[in-house]
């Protein structure tokens, strides 16, 4: 049986959620949406107002208000910091409890290691807080995307080769000590998948894969609306799919450049060393025959990875992202291959969030934790 204190808290949580999703909203409308009485709503509102979690709105919705008082959440009651730690860039976004991004910044960190990245993240936090004119002490949750596996037990980062010193480290614990706030560390591609489902091309899709092709190769898999991490947290580590295979199927940047070098040997082409991926795609769009052959082969390699996962999971959508995967040119060549090889080919789209996908996912994950924690920490509890 629910006790009076428990019922009181449940009512307050229900009222807060109604205000958060329906603001500006009146007392009567809260009662209607929440399915609780107006007196109960009034009691919950008193607690939430005292806690600084909600306030009276300056204006109601468009139309007649008939003298009603409207309420809205205090967005700045707590903040969420999302961080994307990569081999070349450190990206950060500061969001309020509505999910609105109050400040964003990208910092070039090429050649940095895990230790110096700690200080860079600390500096990024302070810069974002200043830019948003908000107190960094209001940050209630930090979510960091890293290029590696985050073990489900203990939070140790594994298989992280792009950032020296990150592999084998409990990075979340190190960050918590520096930042003084709860920190969650997650695989960056997993966060990109969460971001695409929240605000990107995968909104409303329960079964899809986010495939990132760039320096490395990784997938974020969402089935029945839930992110799949696997037993060790290593689901989607497609760099290991080619183990034991003799045929070249690697679509990552180094392999793509090597392929271009071989195909360009002795042929007339616009391509030249170091055969970087952006130059390859640009030359292909200009009609260069060698570059076009490289892009077709790249599409075939990507399609091979998609087909293997789609055959097992039957996803309805595959979202391509990453420095290479974000090239829309690939769609023309990958789609026909999937239609040819699979009885139920998934829809294929390019990420609509680009390099902001990881940050969007980080903020989304952080909001879920922050909303619950700020309610417990800030609500006024009668003595």
DSSP letters spanning 130-176: HHHT--GGGEEEEEEEESSEE-TTT--EES--SSTT-TT--HHHHHH
Residues 8 and 144 in one domain: no
Confidence of residue 375 (pLDDT cuts 50, 70, 90): confident
Residues contacting residue 232 through CB under 8 Å, at least 6 positions apart: 149, 151, 152
Q: What domain range includes position 372?
A: 77-194+358-376
CATH of the domain at 52: 1.10.10.10
pLDDT at 383: 42
Kindly state the percentage of the chain with pLDDT values over 70.
96
Please determine, for residue 64, whether its predicted confidence score (pLDDT) is greater than 70.
no
**Average pLDDT, integer, range 202-212:** 97
**Average pLDDT, integer, range 305-320:** 96
Cα separation of 146 and 162, whole Å?
10
Residues 273 and 324 in one domain: yes
Cα separation of 77 and 54, whole Å?
9
Confidence of residue 6 (pLDDT cuts 50, 70, 90): confident
Cα separation of 273 and 318, whole Å?
32
Residue 29 lies in a domain: yes
CATH of the domain at 340: 3.30.420.40
Residues 174 and 248 in one domain: no
Residue among 72, 73, 167, 85 nearest 122 (CA): 85
Residue 123 lies in a domain: yes
pLDDT at 65: 65
Exposure of 284 by Cβ count < 10 A (0-12 exposed, 13-18 middle, 19+ buried)? Answer: buried
Q: Choose one of 25, 56, 73: the last residue of a domain.
A: 73
**Average pLDDT, integer, range 197-211:** 97
Residue 320 lies in a domain: yes
pLDDT at 371: 78
- Arithmetic mean of pLDDT over the chain: 92
Please determine, for residue 247, whether its predicted confidence score (pLDDT) is greater than 80.
no
Residues 214 and 330 in one domain: yes
Three-state secondary-structure class, residue 310: helix
Residues 61 and 162 in one domain: no
Confidence of residue 248 (pLDDT cuts 50, 70, 90): confident
Residue 382 lies in a domain: no
Q: Which conformational region is residue 67 in: left (phi greater than 0), alpha (psi within -120 to 50 degrees), or beta?
A: left
The verdict on whether omega for the bond into residue 33 sits within 30 degrees of 0, i.e. cis, is no
pLDDT 10s digits, 278-295: 999 999 999 999 999 999
Please determine, for residue 185, whether its predicted confidence score (pLDDT) is greater than 60.
yes
Three-state secondary-structure class, residue 350: strand
Residues 63 and 89 in one domain: no
Residues 222 and 288 in one domain: yes
Pick the residue with more confidence: 222 or 368?
A: 222
Residue 131 lies in a domain: yes
Q: Choose one of 73, 100, 116: the last residue of a domain.
A: 73
**Average pLDDT, integer, range 3-12:** 83
pLDDT 10s digits, 79-135: 999 999 998 899 999 999 888 999 999 999 988 899 999 999 999 999 999 999 999
Pick the residue with more confidence: 186 or 58?
A: 186
**Average pLDDT, integer, range 356-372:** 92
DSSP-assigned beta bridge partners for residue 348? 318
Please determine, for residue 246, whether its predicted confidence score (pLDDT) is greater than 70.
no
pLDDT 10s digits, 313-356: 999 999 999 999 999 999 999 999 999 999 999 999 999 999 99
Kindly state the percentage of the chain with pLDDT values over 90.
80
Residues 170 and 253 in one domain: no
Cα separation of 84 and 261, whole Å?
32
Number of domains forming the structure of the chain: 3
Residue 383 lies in a domain: no
Contact 159, 97 (CB under 8 A): no
Cα separation of 16 and 255, whole Å?
52
Please determine, for residue 381, whether its predicted confidence score (pLDDT) is greater than 60.
no
Residues 49 and 84 in one domain: no
Residues 159 and 239 in one domain: no
Sheet holding 217-223, edge to edge: 226-228, 217-223, 208-213, 317-321, 347-350
**Average pLDDT, integer, range 216-230:** 95
pLDDT 10s digits, 36-62: 999 999 999 999 998 889 999 988 877
Cα separation of 332 and 126, whole Å?
44
Residue 381 lies in a domain: no
Q: Choose one of 73, 91, 124: the last residue of a domain.
A: 73
Cα separation of 296 and 51, whole Å?
59
Residues 112 and 255 in one domain: no
pLDDT at 2: 55
Please determine, for residue 224, whether its predicted confidence score (pLDDT) is greater than 70.
yes
Residue 156 lies in a domain: yes
Residues 90 and 189 in one domain: yes
């Amino acid at each position: 049986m629910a006790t009076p204190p428990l019922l009181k808290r449940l009512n307050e949580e229900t009222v807060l959620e109604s205000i958060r999703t329906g603001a500006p909203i009146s007392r009567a409308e809260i009662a209607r949406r929440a399915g609780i009485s107006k007196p109960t709503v009034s009691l919950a509102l008193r607690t939430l107002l005292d806690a600084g979690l909600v306030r009276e709105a300056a204006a109601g919705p468009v139309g007649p208000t008939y003298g009603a008082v409207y309420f809205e959440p205090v967005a700045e009651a707590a903040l969420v910091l999302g961080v994307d730690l990569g081999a070349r860039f450190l990206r950060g976004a500061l969001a309020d409890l509505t999910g609105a991004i109050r400040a964003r910044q990208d910092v070039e960190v090429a050649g940095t290691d895990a230790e110096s990245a700690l200080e860079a993240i600390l500096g990024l936090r302070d810069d974002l807080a200043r830019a948003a004119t908000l107190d960094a002490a209001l940050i209630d949750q930090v979510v960091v995307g890293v290029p590696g596996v985050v073990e489900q037990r203990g939070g140790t980062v594994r298989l992280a080769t792009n950032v020296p010193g990150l592999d084998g480290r409990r990075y979340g614990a190190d960050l918590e000590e520096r930042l003084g706030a709860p920190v969650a560390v997650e695989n960056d591609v997993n966060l990109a998948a969460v971001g695409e489902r929240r605000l990107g091309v995968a909104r409303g899709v329960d079964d899809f894969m986010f495939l990132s092709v760039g320096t490395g190769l990784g997938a974020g898999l969402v089935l029945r609306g839930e992110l799949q991490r696997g037993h060790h947290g290593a689901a989607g580590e497609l760099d290991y799919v080619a183990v034991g295979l003799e045929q070249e199927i690697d679509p990552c940047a180094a392999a793509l450049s090597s392929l271009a070098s071989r195909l360009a040997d002795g042929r007339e082409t616009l391509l030249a060393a170091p055969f970087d991926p952006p130059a390859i795609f640009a030359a292909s769009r200009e009609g260069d025959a060698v570059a076009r052959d490289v892009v077709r082969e790249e599409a075939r390699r990507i399609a091979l990875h998609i087909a293997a996962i789609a055959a097992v999971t039957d996803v309805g959508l595959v979202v391509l992202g990453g420095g290479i995967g974000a090239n829309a040119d690939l769609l023309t060549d990958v789609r026909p291959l999937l239609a040819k090889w699979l009885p139920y080919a998934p829809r294929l789209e390019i990420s609509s969030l680009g390099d902001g996908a990881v940050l969007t996912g980080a903020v989304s994950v952080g909001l879920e934790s922050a909303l619950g924690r700020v309610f417990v920490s800030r609500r006024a509890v009668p003595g």
